[in-house]
Structure 1
Amino acid sequence: MNKQIEQAYKDRPRSTVYQIVVSVIVVALIVWSGSAVEFTGGGANGGQIALNILKGIFHPDPKLLFNFTMQGVPYLLLETVCIAFLGTLVGAVLAIPFSFLSASNLMPAPIAWLSRMAIMAIRTVPAFVYGLMFIRVSGPGAFTGLLTMSVCSIGMVSKMYIEAIEDLDIRILESLDACGCNTMQKIRYGILPQLIPNFASTVIYRFDINLRDATVLGLVGAGGIGAPLIFAMNSYRWNEAGAILVGLIVLVLIVEYISTRIRVKLTRG
């Protein structure tokens, strides 16, 4: 037996040349890509600005941090959370028909293909571009952020929904059919128990993403805390910027903890 193993090891396919060729190609591509990068150097006071931002984080403005008016950090964070939450909810609901139309195990191939192309087209446009587009339609404000989050959520959520639908255990439906269950009963006891945990986990994960995107969208006037942050930084009010960043860090940590616990509960039951 040992001789057979030794002989099989000696007769193993030799791929040294292949690995060397692949490594050379990868290194050449990295070098070629790096040649297009031009380092122009930072600004004359770039290091000082970075230091001021760090000082602002460690010495936030308490008046702004604990200001409970519409100009304070708590209200702006609440507005950001509301934009992300409602945008995720609307996008998750709109993604349901797209996902069922795109499921290859439920729909004919042409319909599924067209639906997937529509989802792919939605996913192609970045959230920042959607924000600029909707600002022209509805003007600056939280509603623009809501519309942007909703449309941006459709692409990713639909893709995850489709995977869950295509992974349905058909044997459960066959068992219910053999028991004489009607269509509504098969949906209630055979389809929904399989889909709801996956759908809910996807929505929670997308909410985490939208919460960060809502902050960035504030830079273009789509509501939330992004606009006050960029105004504070452009005006060199580092303590105010630090207060906003501290609030964002705390908010993201809290939401991350809660969403992780919920996803684990949904996954493990």
Structure 2
Amino acid sequence: MEMIEKQLVSAPRNNRYILIVTALVAFLFIWSFSAVNIENVEESGWIIATNILQGIVSPDLDLLLNITSQGVLYLLVETIAIAFLGTIIGALLAIPLAFFSASNVVPKPVAFITRLLLIFIRTVPALVYGLMFIRVTGPGPFAGVLTIALISIGMLAKLYVDAIEDLDTSILESMTSIGCNTFEKIRYGIVPQLFAIFLSIMIYRFDMNLREASILGLVGAGGIGAPLIFAMNAYRWTEVGSILIGLMVLILLVELFSNHMRTKLVKG
């Protein structure tokens, strides 16, 4: 331990570099505070914030426990369905795009063009995609599923590429030397290396998509977002509290489940 401390003390330090970086970070931090202006918060804003907190403390239990199509439980299940189906579709579509983006699998020009396509997909916000699909399919959960699928492709393909480029190619070379064909190399050499990683990435994206599906309801793409904004616009704070409680519990449970699954996949 003492030897490590001596090495740290004796290591050369670039004080000028540290000073410049510290000054730059401090400047950006102070400059960012210029966007904070509490004076613009109206008195009605504080009242609304208080009412939201009161709604969470005393929610509308009839709405929260209602199992009809207008109840919170039904809307939460619909939100999960949108996120789950959208994640599955996006994950499947991302696989071929990931292989076309991997420079160790395809020629570099092909990989470059595919990566540009993925960058473009990731650039457009989810709400913009939601508004576009609503114009095509009309309001409803199907627009939400298509939006979730499309926004998932960009991130999933990017993370898939990292896993593909880290493949242990020595296994494939060994399989080639014993006369394995392409299908056998994919089935026994590539899939076992990538399956657990891809599944872990997909579970992580599903966790994110659950939040995205909640927000997409604000533009009419199904889920619990639309009733939430309607209740807030109508100042029905007990309903707002019921929806927020249901949403928080749902996200907490899904996050615990996804963390457990990812941990098992990594250990396995």
* Same fold (TM > 0.5): yes
Structure 2, unmatched stretches of 5+, are 1-5
- Tell me the equivalent position of 2:209: 210
Structure 2 residue matching 1:45: 3-state secondary structure: helix
> Which residue of the partner structure matches residue 30 of structure 1?
29
What code does the residue aligned with 1:92 have?
A: A
Aligned equivalents of 1:229, 1:222: Cα separation in 2? 13
After alignment, is 32-41 or 78-87 more displaced?
Answer: 32-41
Whichever residue aligns with residue 91 of structure 2, its letter is A
211-220 or 176-185: bigger deviation: 176-185
1:79 and 1:22 mapped to 2: Cα distance?
A: 48
The sequence identity of aligned pairs, in percent, is 58
Instruction: For 1:1-269, list aligned pairs within 5 A.
Output: 13=12, 15-35=14-34, 38-269=37-268
Q: Which amino acid aligns with 1:241?
A: V
CA distance in 2, matches of 1:173, 1:108: 18
1:118 and 1:138 mapped to 2: Cα distance?
Answer: 24
Q: Deviations over 1:207-259 (max 9, x none)?
A: 00010000000001000000001111111111111111111111111111111
Following superposition, the deviation at residue 14 of structure 1 comes to: 5.0
CA distance, structure 1, for counterparts of residue 185 and residue 16 of structure 2: 57
Instruction: Please identify, of 168-177 and 178-187, the stretch whose mean Cα deviation from structure 2 is larger.
Output: 178-187
Q: Which amino acid aligns with 1:152?
A: I
Q: Structure 1 stretches of 5 or more lacking a match?
A: 1-5
Q: Give the TM-score of the pair, scaled to structure 1.
A: 0.92
Aligned residues between the structures? 264
Go from structure 1 to structure 2 and tell me whether the alpha carbon gap of 1:257 and 1:36 turns closer, same or farther (over 3 Å shift): closer
Deviation digits for residues 100-123 of structure 1 (CA, Å, limit 9, x no counterpart): 100010011100000000000000
Q: Which amino acid aligns with 2:190?
A: I
Deviates more, 1:13-22 or 1:255-264: 13-22
Question: Structure 1's 54 and 35: CA in aligned 2 closer, same or farther, altered over 3 A?
Answer: closer
- Give the TM-score normalised by structure 2: 0.92
Q: CA RMSD in A?
A: 2.1
Give 1 or 2 for the bigger CA radius of gyration. Answer: 1
Q: Which residue of 1 aligns with 2:3?
A: none
Deviation at 1:178, TM superposition (A): 2.4
SS at match of 2:43: coil
